[in-house]
Structure 1
């Protein structure tokens, strides 16, 4: 078996694959946004190949691409308004291809010095963008926000409890506690479970009417826990909540953290990119006072999954948390002023994640991202205006392009939002979701795609208006009957 294939076969397959992918990339809008989900059919399509007989390379590639075209929610579609899954910019796609071919070993600096230094440079540049002191910036690339948030919890534990690395939770006198709002991403709960703290170590703080952390409730809960002999160690603020796009009062959260000497982490997985936009960056005021930041590159930076960045203003904490001595790791870097990536993160062997971001910045620069984020901000404002003009009620208050809305007269009808959402998704013409705001289910549309324009949004509002009319007529008929 020649895993390399021949040069002629490789060139043929490169050309064939690129041609097939280009056809999808340029025609993404021609597809239905979401497929019909027939699990039995999908399972049969996957399992009809038993691997006892093999396909030709072209047949195999065609099989996979055809199945993805048919059985995927097309998140690169400009009328996908769901989760933070944008269309990947082309430079990011090329970066993933380059990474796959070179397949650098990112555990040891000496095995991939260029790749390691690219990531070190990006960490420094983004740390400065967020306002950290250049001499104190450190960080690591991660697979996604979940890993970055887990890294934050581990760093907070190791900073607050010096014996944690050796004794773990067994050496603690009281229950260690994390404070975050009801709107925090669920990866924080997962992190607490993963490190052995458990769900009960996550103190959920109320939010006020604008969905931000209630500072008074936070202070009250910390004081109460201290009286009980518990050990608060971490506060988490969110910069761009997953549901409604709200940014917590980071300045006041930092003051509370300082008051009680707690680690202050900002989950800016989504909203962090606002720092690159002149009209939005002030929304992140106070983030520079944090101990650490989670920032997902694969969200607003529009690169392929998965790419996240963990930043910290504590130069020593990653080494303190993850450094470990081994006999089998390469020693070529000994004596050099370098840090081996494996001693700085949860992952050991991993992809060259940073190239997707580096190549994109090389080609488009800061200005390119400034303009892209500004376009999406404008599209969010345009959608809000069109919805209000059509009599929809906006329920969230954010400058980020996330709109949560409902009908004022129908908002208390338990089936209204779910019915509208299901109808739109089933049509294949768009994809939206449902999210509760203040106990009321709302329809949620998030603009994550740089190619989404006003025509797409006008079509969305038209579809919403049509389905609302149908629902109203159906309700009227039920009343009459």
Structure 2
């Protein structure tokens, strides 16, 4: 079959691929951090006549590699100080190659028992890390959005026993979801998907230190018209996307327990500190939650998308997703195993967990602890360097997310945009702008385990030169 090629051809193709990938992986820092966004040029580059009959593999590979190198923000770059998109560690890359080759189908236990049991082991490991009891449960997801959607579905099925059968038409009141105004937009998206609508998501203002204001939350609960509405869920964020803030999880837990409300923690980014003995105190209270979202493809530096949903309610995933079919394999019926397709939004399931498992086999939990501690130190170093040169820090977090500006230009609406455009045009660094209480700030996040003081000094120097030029205009 021509899809397979012969042994010699496959070897030549792999050698071509690995040579080009190694060239990129070993010299990522030599690339511009971001491309020129010429949409006409990009679209013309992919409209190739060769799609009809195909071309030789070497040319096809070269075409794709050039496209990715010329038209991508290079998130693996050590001077990418952007969103939570880290450089993939090498174990994770190899894991994706292995998974693609063996292509195990994790819908049914009997089809991929090794793979399913690896993921079950990892779920138990993370259950222990986050402080849940032995009866807790969990499942791998394709991203934080799926994990947050899973949380909402579990909360609905927990509060309304007939929800799986009757859906929203069986509800006597409108469920309300409470979260911070800084919470991730996937919360609104989840509400849209399940049919509640995002009007039933109630964003709560934040305090001066950008945490969900629990006093205002309690006030909103007190004035809720319970003849129409019913509080379903409160979401605390551990590491907000914009400012890296961790909400007061113990306070939110107390409110949830007092009002019998599902407590979910979106720890997609900040959950990584649980792997550090020196830093995990910041997540105090997360062990009391009903569910947790954690993205390993953020701080654990494995390829997209590798997320985990955990819950302290060990029966709720089954109640939410269990279904029977005649065509699924029955070999595991008499075994004490959980069929993955009865436990997850997904049906056909990729071996997501291998990226973490192989990384742990390569580096161990201790390797991750060192990496997370180091990136946190780099965040502290960035703050010190910025303050040294007159910048002011506008967010308050121990995570390596730094939002900053110059006091003199705080109210200048052109300041951040002008400097950001210049920096992105230079292609030496990548960072973003994020508004804090109406004031635009530069946002730099240490996401790359290869980012050192050298790259941070270069970023600060670049910023200082741009400010000097701007002030002269």
What interval of TM-score do these two structures reach, taking the shorter chain for normalisation? over 0.9
Q: What's the CA shift for 1:48? A: 2.0
SS across alignment from 2:138 = strand
Correspondences of 1:310-459 after superposition (within 5 Å)? 310-459=309-458
Distance 1:160 1:233 in 2: 7
Cα distance per residue 1:392-416 (max 9 Å; x no partner): 0100000000000000010100111
SS across alignment from 1:221 = helix
Distance 1:19 1:180 in 2: 47
Map of 2:108 onto structure 1: 108
Distance 1:99 1:32 in 2: 31
Q: What's the CA shift for 1:226? A: 4.3
Distance 1:41 1:443 in 2: 30
Map of 1:12 onto structure 2: 12
* Counterpart check, 1:54 vs 2:54: yes
Map of 2:174 onto structure 1: 175
Distance 2:49 2:28 in 1: 27
User: Which piece of structure 1 moves more, 227-236 or 293-302?
Assistant: 227-236
Answer whether contact 1:123 1:137 (CA < 8 A) is retained. no
Map of 1:155 onto structure 2: 154
Distance 2:36 2:417 in 1: 18
Cα distance per residue 1:313-350 (max 9 Å; x no partner): 11000000000010110111110001111110001002
Corresponding pairs, count: 473
Map of 1:93 onto structure 2: 93
Answer whether contact 1:226 1:232 (CA < 8 A) is retained. no
Q: What's the CA shift for 1:50? A: 4.6
Q: What's the CA shift for 1:40? A: 0.5
Answer whether contact 1:322 1:346 (CA < 8 A) is retained. yes
* Counterpart check, 1:63 vs 2:66: no
Distance 2:386 2:98 in 1: 43
Distance 2:226 2:99 in 1: 53
Distance 1:49 1:426 in 2: 32
Map of 2:80 onto structure 1: 80
SS across alignment from 1:151 = helix
Distance 1:316 1:223 in 2: 31
Map of 1:477 onto structure 2: none
Q: What's the CA shift for 1:229? A: 3.2
**Which runs of 4 or more aligned residues in structure 1 lie more than 6 Å from their structure 2 counterparts after TM superposition?**
none
Distance 1:267 1:49 in 2: 45
Distance 2:365 2:217 in 1: 37
Distance 1:380 1:25 in 2: 24
SS across alignment from 2:20 = helix
SS across alignment from 2:139 = strand
Cα distance per residue 1:268-309 (max 9 Å; x no partner): 000001001122100000000000000001000000111100
Distance 2:418 2:268 in 1: 30
Q: What's the CA shift for 1:228? A: 4.7
Answer whether contact 1:86 1:299 (CA < 8 A) is retained. yes
Distance 1:51 1:227 in 2: 59
Distance 1:111 1:52 in 2: 36
Q: What's the CA shift for 1:53? A: 2.8
Map of 1:479 onto structure 2: none
Question: Which stretches in structure 1 are left out of the alignment for 5+ residues?
Answer: 475-481
Map of 1:308 onto structure 2: 307
SS across alignment from 1:173 = coil
SS across alignment from 1:298 = helix
Q: What's the CA shift for 1:225? A: 1.4
* Counterpart check, 1:30 vs 2:21: no
TM-score (norm 2): 0.99
Go from structure 1 to structure 2 and tell me whether the alpha carbon gap of 1:412 and 1:228 turns closer, same or farther (over 3 Å shift): farther
Answer whether contact 1:28 1:77 (CA < 8 A) is retained. yes
Q: What's the CA shift for 1:244? A: 0.2
CA RMSD in angstroms, aligned pairs only: 0.8
Distance 1:58 1:229 in 2: 63
TM-score (norm 1): 0.97
Map of 1:266 onto structure 2: 265
SS across alignment from 1:409 = helix
Distance 1:50 1:13 in 2: 18
Q: What's the CA shift for 1:439? A: 1.3
Map of 1:229 onto structure 2: 228
Answer whether contact 1:433 1:443 (CA < 8 A) is retained. yes
Q: What's the CA shift for 1:16? A: 1.3
Q: What's the CA shift for 1:212? A: 0.3
Go from structure 1 to structure 2 and tell me whether the alpha carbon gap of 1:326 and 1:344 turns closer, same or farther (over 3 Å shift): same
Distance 1:103 1:313 in 2: 31
Correspondences of 1:97-136 after superposition (within 5 Å)? 97-134=97-134, 136=135
Q: What's the CA shift for 1:12? A: 1.0
Question: Which stretches in structure 2 are left out of the alignment for 5+ residues?
Answer: none
Distance 2:18 2:44 in 1: 27
Q: What's the CA shift for 1:52? A: 2.1
User: Which piece of structure 1 moves more, 48-57 or 392-401?
Assistant: 48-57
Cα distance per residue 1:439-464 (max 9 Å; x no partner): 11100000000000000000000010
